[in-house]
Structures are given as C-alpha cells and as structure tokens.
C-alpha cells in the first residue's frame, strides 16, 4: 500500500513540475490553437467553434488579442464578427458586425488569450493549495502504512 501511494505521489509531483517548467510552451500552444480555431470558425456544430463561442461569451472577450483578429478570417468576409462577441445580443445586427468601426462599439474589445491565461494563473494558487493538501495526506498515509507494516512484521510471532 505504501508503494502504491508513493507511486501516485511521485506521478503527481512529476506532473506538477512538468506543468510548471513548460507553462510558457502551454501558453504558446494555446494561443496558436486559438488562432487556428478562429481561422477555421464556422456556424455549424463544430466543437472548436462552440468552444470559441463559449470562451467569448463567458469571459466577455473577442478574438485572440482583440476583436480585430476576426477581420483576418474567412468567416468575417461572409458574416462579420460572430454574435458571441456582442455585449448585448439584441443590439447586434449582421450589418454592424461586418463593419469593424461600428462593431467596435457593440462587441467586447478585449482579446480572449490574455483573459484565459490570467484567469488560469489566478486559479493556480487554489490548485497548488489543493495539490499540497492532497500530497500531505498521501505522505501521512505512506508513513502510517510503513509503521503498520513494521508493527505487523515485528509482532508476527507473538500472535501465534
């Protein structure tokens, strides 16, 4: 049991170290994937498009760096900026969303990349605290299981 807990503890420790060391690569990868999702954005039930819409609605953001990122997409030439960028869904017409100057007043101007990464970084302290608490319980379990094992081994002949 102690060996199993030690193995789990080491796996969690390695995952935390790898996540910390490669956090910049994770950000870069996320930014390139978000750019790709914008480029391939469409109105069908594509999971990437739904994810972009959900991020934009939830975090009140638009595009990767800002709303003008949509101007470089194929979707913009057909339909303008997506409805998920609108501050007020009832006040956004398709004509407004096709004109970047009018759209600036009606859509969220902040980019999603900065908001997603800052939200993740702000929650990292909570994740680190919970992970530290779990690690402490695992270490206590390892110590107690080793003590129990030693006690059983020492008293094996007395029980008979």
**10-residue stretch averages of pLDDT, the chain, 160 residues long:** 86 81 84 89 79 90 90 87 88 84 88 88 80 86 87 64
Neighbours of 134 (CB within 10 A): 13
- Rg of the chain over Cα atoms, rounded to whole angstroms, equals 25
CB-CB contact of 69 with 38 (8 Å): yes
Neighbours of 149 (CB within 10 A): 12
CB-count burial class (<10 Å; 0-12, 13-18, 19+) for 18: exposed
Residues 6+ apart with CB under 8 A from 40: 46, 48, 49
What pTM was computed for the model? 0.68
Query: Helix 2-21 and helix 23-39: axis angle, to 10°?
Result: 70
Residue 122, classed as helix, strand or coil, is helix
pLDDT at res. 44: 65
Domains of the chain with bracketed CATH = 1-158 (1.10.1450.10)
Nearest to 35 by CA among 26, 23, 48: 48
Nearest to 103 by CA among 79, 122, 123: 79
| Helices and strands per DSSP (H, E), number in the chain | 8, 0
């Amino acid at each position: 049991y102690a060996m199993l807990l030690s193995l789990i503890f080491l796996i969690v420790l390695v995952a935390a170290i790898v996540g910390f060391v490669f956090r910049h690569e994770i950000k870069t990868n996320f930014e390139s994937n978000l750019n790709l999702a914008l480029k391939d954005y469409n109105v069908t039930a594509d999971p990437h498009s739904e994810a972009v819409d959900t991020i934009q609605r939830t975090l009140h953001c638009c595009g990767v760096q800002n709303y003008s990122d949509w101007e470089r997409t194929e979707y913009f030439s057909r339909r303008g900026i997506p409805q998920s960028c609108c501050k007020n869904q009832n006040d956004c017409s398709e004509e407004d969303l096709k004109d970047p100057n009018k759209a600036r007043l009606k859509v969220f101007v902040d980019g999603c990349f900065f908001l997603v990464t800052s939200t993740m970084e702000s929650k990292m302290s909570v994740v680190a605290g919970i992970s530290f608490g779990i690690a402490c319980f695992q270490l206590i379990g390892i110590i107690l299981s080793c003590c129990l094992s030693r006690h059983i081994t020492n008293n094996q002949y007395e029980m008979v």
